[in-house]
Amino acid sequence: MQQENAVHGIHHVTALAGDPQRNLDFYVDGLGLRLVKRSVNQDDPATYHLFYADAEGTPGTDLTFFPQRGMAPGRPGVGQVGEVPLAIPAGALEWWRDRLVARGVWHAEETTRFGERTLAFRDPDGLPLALVEIDEERRFAPWAGSPVPAERQIRGVHAVRIRVADAGPTVRLLEETMGFDSVGEDAGWRRWVAGDGSGAYVDLAEDPDTPPGRWGSGAVHHVAWRVRQDEEQDALREAIVRAGLRPTQPIDRFWFRSVYFREPGGTLFELATDGPGFDRDERPEALGESLVLPPWLEEHRERIEAALPALEVPASG
């Protein structure tokens, strides 16, 4: 039973990448996701912030990137999200394996995790991803412009997998403050859920012998957890303060409101509201077609555009 003021699953995952065009080609033409927002890192406007999701940018389907040419590679380790599993419909795994093979994408042998057929692979920057077959229905809007047929399209982020040196403090945060319920253990990984299933899982492994990870190309920057509105976010932020952590004040990201904090194991967490949403400043049919900036950066548009490399959305998208 989920407690009051708990999170409601994953809102988005943000990772770091190298060349922006290569990133765009892989996620749109390769994985068939829609570029729903082409903007900039609001804390570093000389860097793109690219948002990939389903047709509508539904919370929980977003995989976003800060891509920058020449970025040094990250180092995997504890205190960070080490893999991002993505949900696909049951029966689609062989089709996806063939697609990865045809494109020369590195992938591992198929495995079963928590009873789910899983295929791990890496994006061009080495970011660990996985495809996971799910039987359940989840909120998802198919994209008609995708090179992937609607019946095989990625349904969204399925889970995040995190390694920590000491699991105890992180577990207490998940269960006592954020409303996660323990749902099982598999091959040294423990799973919690905050919501209805796919899109609401966090898998945790204790690994005291591995050094901390380092941000860089191919590494996850943070995972954002869904809260429905400002009032839920404020209540949960207060609970996080009472737990002895130091969350930021709410930050207006224009398409949602964010609070950031590091969980005890070192991973950067965000609490992100479901709205106002990506169609606040673009027509739904035109999402991602042009560079959009939050109002407070519009006066710097000319300088920002001059610093960004040109991008071309793949024809198949």
Here the CATH number for the domain that contains residue 53 is 3.10.180.10
Is 150 inside a domain boundary?
yes
Determine which of 1-5, 39-43, 194-198, 252-256 has the lowest per-residue pLDDT on average: 1-5
Is 70 inside a domain boundary?
yes
Residues 6+ apart with CB under 8 A from 274: 11, 59, 226, 227, 228, 229, 256
Is 314 inside a domain boundary?
no
- What is residue 128's DSSP assignment? E
Position 316 confidence tier, pLDDT thresholds 50, 70, 90:
low
Is 312 inside a domain boundary?
no
Which pairs count as long-range contacts for 304-307, CB under 8 Å and 24+ apart, including other chains? Answer: 304/40, 304/45, 304/46, 307/45, 307/46
The pLDDT of residue 195 is: 84
Q: How many domains does the chain have?
A: 1
Tell me whether strands 220-227 and 268-273 are parallel, antiparallel or unpaired.
Answer: parallel
Burial class (CB in 10 A: 0-12, 13-18, 19+), 246: exposed
Domain of 26 in residue numbering reads as: 10-307
Position 1 confidence tier, pLDDT thresholds 50, 70, 90:
very low
Is 3 inside a domain boundary?
no
Is 53 inside a domain boundary?
yes
Burial class (CB in 10 A: 0-12, 13-18, 19+), 294: middle
Please state, rounded to an integer, the average pLDDT across all residues of the chain. Answer: 96
Across the range 286-297, mean pLDDT stands at 97
Residues 6+ apart with CB under 8 A from 283: none
Instruction: Provide the token pair at 119.
Output: 């295929």
Is 1 inside a domain boundary?
no
> In terms of pTM, does the model score above 0.95?
yes
Across the range 260-276, mean pLDDT stands at 98
The pLDDT of residue 315 is: 78
pLDDT in tens, 231-247: 999 999 999 999 999 99
Whether 317 has a pLDDT exceeding 90, the answer reads: no
pLDDT in tens, 36-83: 999 999 999 999 999 999 999 999 999 999 999 999 999 999 999 999
Is 112 inside a domain boundary?
yes
Within the chain, where are the H helices?
20-24, 93-102, 167-172, 230-242, 301-307
Under 8 Å between Cβ of 60 and 139:
yes
Residue 124: C-alpha distances to residues 94, 104, 156, 254 (Å)? 21, 10, 19, 30
> What is the CA 22 to chain-centroid distance, rounded?
18
